[in-house]
Structure 1
């Protein structure tokens, strides 16, 4: 092996070693028509790793064939062949982070290199290096800086230097394009005292902190306006058309548009999609009396008395113990009733909660939801219980009713958003709503940020989201959602619901007790009259 060829071997070996390459793909669309030196060293370098030879102008979907770290080696003619560059970009769809080494079969041409690398930048292929046929003598290769703007660089090869550094670690002040969907409390729009537009919310925290960590800034692609919400499909379309780099929006990965899963980053959170129901009202006074001494207790006492009365003659020997037993039972009943009465003053019980769609359909309560989301529910469920839903076409209607905690409806909500309402109700003596898992439409749904399918920031965003989760920052920002809403003037810290009022007993409060007492007296007198009538009738008949 002569010295010039040895340099090519060292180049390939360094790329494989430094980047932990497990597969080499060699692309030669001219099928040997161009004289490239790299092909001579492939068999020597690829002794221990797979080598894929591709000699066609047709594109292939490498992401479905190779699921590992690979280096893409291309032998291209010394002309600007846009068709071949498009083939490479199409073949590397979803794996544009692949290391790409291009050998141009011509004399050095800086303008040609610049055009090729600028096209690679447009197609989000950042890890590209170009050499010419004189690389064996000059050891010169061409790379570029992507941030903050394109800059062509030439450097001398060294087998200790990584020619593919991660360009997305430091974005050099690059302006990341973004747009919030204004789905509160994920992203919250408000104006400060100076009238300037401000954004808050845990999703905005994620995006802004990501840009700060990687030395970038954020740029809104359009002016954010109140009530200008972005739907799920609108956010996906912005990413598909490369209008945004990272959308300030988390969307469910598994509910709809499943064919576009490449447009999501690593899940930022996993949440169930259930329902927040109004708290059941407290029992009324008449029901409270029945709760103090349930009917089943009276039935049990009646059964015990009948058994005792029937067997009284047989238990004459234990008459004293039976008398003590009845007194103990009376004390237990009095203590139980007194305890329940005190409980009524301290924490009165609520009415029976609604635990099923069947019970909900028999009540007056309805679930307030969005018509577009309703179509995602289970078909059998939404058909059988269609009457339990009250649907609207406007997201603003749902947000207004839900944020105001209007107890006229129940509301669909993810667990992440529920934490806002739970914190809002923490300042009240009795919550107005509770999160019910009996009315869940989807369990453990992953939610992820929306990004272009070939985003160069996917890997760094993936690591960043994992770091947020491990550090607890994500949960911390979510728990601050209520205070973000207060800061934006959307909500207030206040006592919700009617405060409990305490007063001395009125005669009206004892109406049911007196009525029961009167009824008992009437029954007793009636039984006493019957007993006297039976006695006198028996006496008269015998005489």
Structure 2
């Protein structure tokens, strides 16, 4: 009897267990079916091609065989490798504390990746959103174990209270949004580098607020307005700095003291893009060389007398002398060296002067005289044109053609210590060609900039092509340009400048897109063209002519024709000597002595 009751009890227990198993199995299947529909919807909204599953066994693992997508399962919650995940990765997390990623590079690559978290029923979405926002991960959605019954998805919303929303799966509402499209007045911390004309800080007289202008500052101001954020200028005096340099701003970005620096660090200053990202400017790094001085007027005569042209004129003199001597008597009897070199008709004819014409000349002599006169017209016209042109605008002194030529000039290259350190660390071949004796190194960056802005023509300055555009605009007000950009003297032909940013800035992608759009619409080019006007308006530049204009006299001075006078006196002295030798019959005396000696 007791045995029968025991068998009956076991049968009832078996039936009850089977029913409970069927219910649990049916519940799991419904949950899996709902989650598959969620993943399909996420794939339609933004296609993903890789699944990354964190945590131990949960319902997400059983979904993988139905999705047909490559999957990486990280049961320990962290990877030891620098995974090169594609940008279309979806992260599935089994529990709020399942993801414990420690690899910094992987965290950076997966920062904006969408995450779907499976929560226990007693978990609070608000706490989970706070937990992930501290890690600056904001594309978070959560489902609970009862999702197949409630169809409720919890999505994190960073700039609101409460920091999440409950959304019904079948409602036409986005699960993930761009949280930083509207920051609701949240602060973006920055530090300006105060390098004109890209960043110029001033205090508004009406509001008393600190503001900044410039082609870099304007880009930052527009970005803040676009995100409905506010700009916070960090007090650098609390950091022990009076004026921030680019190196300081880069270090503060690495230390997460600021979000985006209103500064530009060049590609020569960093080796990785961890703190410096998309380039804002592409430019070169060349030399700003003083315009060579004009030659003094007394050297103009030597400039127009080219040795090759003189050689041609001397050959013409000899040829015309020989032809005239032969055509006069149709013989070579009078052909001597003295008659060829000192032929009166040929010499005076080439100089454009009149000379005695023989009576009854032959046709050959007429033709020779005609060609001689034509040559004299060409020669005198050519030299007169050269002389007048050079007197109107004298040619310049020799210019620097290579880095090695700097040592052959009296100019020195002024450069800051920071630039020297960068060029030395890069082992720049052009910089090594310059001797240290021809370098003037400034330890203080501000003093160096003041010297360069003063247009001191005693020095050569390295400058970016981008900064040169401002100097070029200012020199349009000068009577004469003081400097020119030596495009063939560049340390680096292609160098890009990027704003320093902290490593895990969550809206970095929006900032990069904003920079590209500013260039696409031509705003950066327009701001650059207005830079000098802004500098003048803020009193950072003047419209004063800083060039050293050459003083032009009303007429030629005696010093301007000094070489002509010296040549004239030398020729007169030589003529007097020849005349004295001639009247003293020195030639006859020399001939007698020669005959006696023989």
Q: Pick the TM interval, shorter chain.
A: 0.7 to 0.9
Q: Is the 8 A contact 2:191 2:233 kept in 1?
A: yes
| Structure 2 partner of 1:65 | 84
Moved more, 531-540 or 305-314: 531-540
- For 1:528 and 1:156, the matched residues in 2 are separated by 122
Q: Which residue of 1 aligns with 2:254?
A: 240
**Helix, strand or coil for the counterpart of 2:419?**
helix
Aligned residue number for residue 117 of structure 1? 129
Name the counterpart of 1:393: 443
Contact 2:201 2:213 in 1 (8 A): yes
1:254-403, aligned counterparts within 5 Å? Answer: 255-259=268-272, 261-309=273-321, 318-377=364-423, 378=427, 381-384=430-433, 385-403=435-453
Which deviates more, 320-329 or 66-75? 320-329
CA contact (8 A) 2:50 2:86 kept: no
Q: 1:205 to 1:346 in 2, by over 3 A?
A: farther
Distance in 1 of aligned mates of 2:495 and 2:436: 23
Structure 2 residue matching 1:168: 3-state secondary structure: helix
**Deviation by residue 1:224-283 (Cα, 9 ceiling, x = unmatched):** 89x943233322222223222211011113x23313x12123111111111101111111
User: How far, CA to CA, are the matches of 1:367 and 1:507 in structure 2?
Assistant: 37
Matches within 5 A, 1:94-243: 94-104=109-119, 106-110=120-124, 113-147=125-159, 151-158=163-170, 161-191=173-203, 197-222=210-235, 228-243=242-257
Q: Distance in 2 between matches of 1:23 and 1:360?
A: 58
With over 3 angstroms needed to count, the CA separation of the structure-2 counterparts of 1:529 and 1:11, relative to structure 1, is: farther
Q: Which has the larger radius of gyration?
A: 2
2:525 alignment counterpart: 475
- Of 251, 254, 261, the residue aligned with 2:265 is 251
**Over residues 370-421 of structure 1, what are the superposed CA-to-partner deviations in whole Å (9 max), with x where a residue is unaligned?**
1121122235554452222110111111110011111121111101111111
Contact 1:180 1:187 in 2 (8 A): yes
CA distance in 2, matches of 1:140, 1:248: 43
Q: Which runs of 5+ in 1 are unaligned?
A: none
Mapped pair 1:56 → 2:107: no
> Any conservation in 2 of the 1:361–1:388 contact (CA below 8 Å)?
yes
Equivalents in 2 of 1:221, 1:9: separation in Å? Answer: 48
Alignment equivalent of 1:457, drawn from 488, 502, 507: 507
Answer yes or no: is 1:513 the counterpart of 2:526. no
Given the alignment of the two structures, is residue 426 of structure 1 paired with residue 476 of structure 2, yes or no? yes
1:265 and 1:461 in contact (8 A); partners too: no
Deviation at 1:223, TM superposition (A): 5.9
State the 1:313 CA deviation. Answer: 5.5
CA RMSD of aligned residues (A): 2.9
Q: Is the Cα–Cα contact under 8 Å of residues 370 and 394 in structure 1 kept in the other structure?
A: yes
Q: How far apart in 2 are the matches of 1:462 and 1:366? A: 40
Q: Pick from 66, 69, 92: which aligns with 1:44?
A: 66
Q: Indicate yes or no: 2:45 matched with 1:18.
A: yes
Instruction: Give distance in 2, aligned partners of 1:467 and 1:490.
Output: 29
**Is the Cα–Cα contact under 8 Å of residues 202 and 474 in structure 1 kept in the other structure?**
yes
Alignment CA distance shift 1:455-1:318 (3 Å)? farther
Question: Higher mean Cα deviation, 309-318 or 261-270?
Answer: 309-318
User: In the alignment, what sits opposite 1:75?
Assistant: 94
Residues 158 and 164 in structure 2, CA contact (< 8 A), matched pair in contact too:
no
CA distance in 1, matches of 2:465, 2:105: 39
Distance 1:223 1:230 in 2: 7
Q: Alpha-carbon deviation of 1:44?
A: 1.2
Change (3 A) 1:321 1:466: farther
Question: Is the partner of 1:129 in helix, strand or coil?
Answer: strand
Q: Is the Cα–Cα contact under 8 Å of residues 182 and 228 in structure 1 kept in the other structure?
A: no
Alpha-carbon displacement from aligned partner over 1:418-447 (angstroms, at most 9, x marks no partner): 111111101112100011123311121111
Q: 1:89 to 1:516 in 2, by over 3 A?
A: closer
Q: 545, 566, 569: which one pairs with 1:495?
A: 545
Q: Distance in 2 between matches of 1:159 and 1:335?
A: 93
Query: CA contact under 8 A between 1:95 and 1:454: conserved in structure 2?
Result: no
Q: What is the count of residue pairs matched by the alignment?
A: 525
Q: 1:504 aligns with which of 555, 564, 578?
A: 555
